[in-house]
Amino acid sequence: MDDRKYNKNRWWIYTSKIKIMAFLQFKNVGIKAMSACVPKNISSNYDLGYLIPEDEIEKTINSIGIKEKRFVDSNVCSSDLCVKAAEKLFEDNNIDRSSIDMVLFLSQTADYRIPATAPIIQHRLGLPQTTASLDLNLGCSGFVYGLSTAFSYASIEGIDRVLLLVGETFSKIVNPKDKVNAPLYGDAGTATLIEKENKSSSYFLLNSDGKGENAVKIPSGGYRNPVKVDDLEERLREEGNIRSNLDVYMNGMDVFNFAIRVVPRGVKEIMKKVDLSVEAIDYLVFHQANKFMTDFFVKRLKINDSKVPYCIGKYGNTSAASIPLTIVSELFDTDISNNKIIMSGFGAGLSWGTALVIPRDLSISKIIEY
């Protein structure tokens, strides 16, 4: 660890084991509206008898907390779910499309390698050509990172409204014969509208540790390891799992050990930074990795579990989309204006981020299906 000192433009906070960096504070920017779209197709984990012994299915479901997930049809992409969510957001909030200054699309399952998906979405949504468009690629910490990026743009002169679209279709990259991943992942798309306002402050802690790159990975298909013919071949892997080199791999134990080390610490750090007690938190929204893990966080942080919403049981792990999906699906009928909400995302990269937001007059649309 280096001996970097305080810099007036950044905060560098050191702990005994982990350097917490990139502490960001935004004033006069907030979340205006949120919406989400999930596929109509339901995949039940009770139907995994072909993969998991029948007498272990109930135990598996109770451990991960996932009874079912939603899967897209083969011709539907994450951008399609995000576009549907955005249309719902526009309709419910009477949003003038010409008022959108920027579109951010965050996904690891984009439409193409080239071109970026955000400009395509700009056109599909009928947004003006003056709309800036940008793709972001990050895993399960993605919503927190994407939200900080949206806040950054919305806080500068010339940009008043940013549409953040976060969606994943992991059903396209998870091998159904992979006992680790098949029970976990589902598909979803979300839309979040960020705009200038005069009422709130928000705080972010962003971190990464690239030495853990192999914990969650698709080995081939990029430009480090271009696709070869044998990459398409399904092979028997560790502990009887089957997948190709174009399917996602996850070392569950590595991810678990990483998460229990950094996630509670990140939540405590952001509370300490803003002088907030655990009792003062209204909601703590975790990335929906699996319920065993998040239950561990709840106990470690000693927070009332009624303040920790879950949607994992009916939608599974939707990667970067899971935090906004949880808010939309579980807090739709709840007035969370002026609530102190901490969000915590963590996963592939390795990467993790924690945010404290206090929404003012936030509109949450009812979740829709496509």
Contacts of residue 313, Cβ cutoff 8 Å, sequence gap at least 6: 65, 66, 67, 68, 291
Q: Which of 37, 77, 82, 140 is catalytic?
A: 140
Q: Residue 339: CA atoms inside 13 Å, Cβ hemisphere, count? A: 18
Among residues 181, 245, 287, 311, the one annotated as catalytic is 287
Per the CB < 8 A criterion, the answer to whether 348 and 140 are in contact is yes
Active site residue 123: no
- The pair phi, psi for residue 95, each rounded to 5°, is -80, 125
Distance CA 152, CA 169 (A): 27
Token pair listed for 73: 């049809």
The first and second tokens of residue 201, run together, are 């402050």
Q: Which residue is associated with the tokens 């960001």?
A: 24
Tell me if residue 287 is catalytic: yes
Please identify which of the residues 175, 181, 290, 317 carries the catalytic annotation: 317
Q: Is 338 left (phi over 0), alpha (psi -120 to 50) or beta?
A: left
> Which residues are tagged catalytic?
140, 287, 317
